[in-house]
Chains A and B, each alone.
Chain A
Amino acid sequence: MDTDLIIRVFPYFIEAGWVTIQLSVLSMLLGLVCGALGAAARLSRSVVLRFIGAAYVSLIRGTPALIQVFILYFGGPQIGIQLEAFEAGVLALGFNIGAYMTETMRGAIISVDRGQTEAARTLGLSRFETFRAVTLPQALRLMIRPLGVNINALIKGTALVAAISVVELTYTAQRYIGSTYKPFEMFFLAGAIYMAIIYVTGTAVSWLDRRVALK
């Protein structure tokens, strides 16, 4: 281990780690919105919306995230979408994880006991009121942990945008591997920062899950 080298490049890795955090947070927020819309579409009464939701999930989950990033960033200008690498990365990653979150949210909603909905409807609540006041609060509890798994995958998935030259952790590690020929040192440095981000996120998810658990 070349500790002098590690100390010298450490500030650049911290800066890159901050970019990874920004990528993760922004694409997570976009993913949650896409997931909520996707789940609503897949559970709606309209055949058209159900089809759109199913097509979104199937197309996104059936193709590599890397290709989706490339289509948006390199192919975008051909259809009039000109984006910075960072913006394209956030949009593609968020749209991608949104498809997985759609299935997570839908799963949580449909696993709320049917009797709950039936009872609420019998008591005179409308379909919307039933969903807002009865189904959703219970489903939210069920979806926190699996959404945490999605977010964990997303954080590691942000490494993909290194391929479109966003200067985040993996790109930085790759650049320093190329210039210093020290792959192990750079791997452990970047790896440690990823682990720290994932550890903090995982702890936050567990805390949230415990907060909302029924005593």
Chain B
Amino acid sequence: MGLDFSVVPPFFDALLTGALWTVAITISAAVLSFFGGILFAVIALYAPWPIRYPFRLFAWLFMGTPLLLQLFLIYFGLIQIGVDLPAFVAGVIGLGLHFAVYNSDIIQAGILAVDKGQYEGARTLGLSRGQTLRKVVVPQAIRSVVPPIGNNMIALLKDSALVSVIGVTELTLSSQMAISRTFRPFEFYVAAAACYYVINLGLEAGLRRIERRIQIAR
């Protein structure tokens, strides 16, 4: 059986829809992982110990196990405790939580690297601990960690392919559906790879722009 890429164009619409879902999942999970990462970083550093230590255990467990395993846990675990979420939502939560833990690790380092004088100065000016974190420390920390967080976003885009296994009809599952009708795996997986590559190029360009703007603001 030779290769014949002319089987791909008839499924253009299906693949495009899948690609749009991939973008939607990536953006939703990226937003969740960004704000989740900030929240987790603050918890890991400043929460009282009965919260801090269990949280660190959770973070350690999430960083040491595969994303695919976590997706199964979240999808089937939620069903078991009676929460029947749509696959899309479960996928976004799974991806978002996984990368929030990785982002939190980076943001913690960023927070610790902010000059102590900034914290002391803000407290002396009468800001509360919460205000100091929210308005002085965290914004400076975020700025310094944009490049590594950007790398996590790129990893997130590629790992979004994993949510196909819990039944989200994104790019990977869309190509699998086309394959089950045409029996042409090579052509469709290569087409899917090309789509991911293009989306990835767009994401990288976007991240570079953000990095440049932040550098100017500094």
Contact = CB atoms under 8 A, between A and B. Distances in A.
Q: What are the 6 A-B residue pairs with the smallest beta carbon separation, nearest first?
A: A75-B186, A159-B66, A74-B185, A64-B161, A183-B76, A64-B158
A64 to B, nearest CB: 4
Contacts of A158: 66
Interface stretch (B39-47, B83-91, B112-120, B193-201): B193-201
Given A67-B172, A75-B185, A177-B72, A159 B67 contact: yes
B1 A160 contact: no
11 contacts: A64-B196, A66-B161, A66-B162, A71-B186, A75-B186, A78-B186, A184-B73, A187-B65, A187-B69, A194-B64, A194-B66
A138 interface: no
B80 to A, nearest CB: 6
Given A173-B69, A183-B72, A67 B185 contact: no
The B interface is mostly helix, strand or loop, or mixed, namely: helix
Contacts, number: 114
Contact of A195 (B64, B80, B187): B64
A70 B159 CA distance: 14
A127 to B, nearest CB: 33
Contacts of B196: 62-64, 67
A200 B141 CA distance: 33
Contacts of B67: 156, 159
Contacts of B200: 62-63
B51 interface: no
Nearest to B158: A64
Contacts of A162: 68
Which of A62, A170, A174 has the most chain B CB atoms closer than 10 A to its own CB?
A62
Contacts of B1: 77-78
A67 B189 contact: yes
Contacts of A187: 65, 69-70, 72-73, 77
A102 B27 CA distance: 29
A66 B80 contact: no
A74 B80 CA distance: 33
Interface in A156-185: 156-160, 162-163, 169-170, 173-174, 177, 181-184
Interface size class of B (residues with CB under 8 A): 35 or more
Contacts of A157: 66
B192 interface: yes
Contacts of A62: 196-197, 200-201
Which of B67, B161, B190 has the most chain A CB atoms closer than 10 A to its own CB?
B161
A161 B54 CA distance: 31
Interface in B86-115: none
A194 B80 contact: no
A190 interface: yes
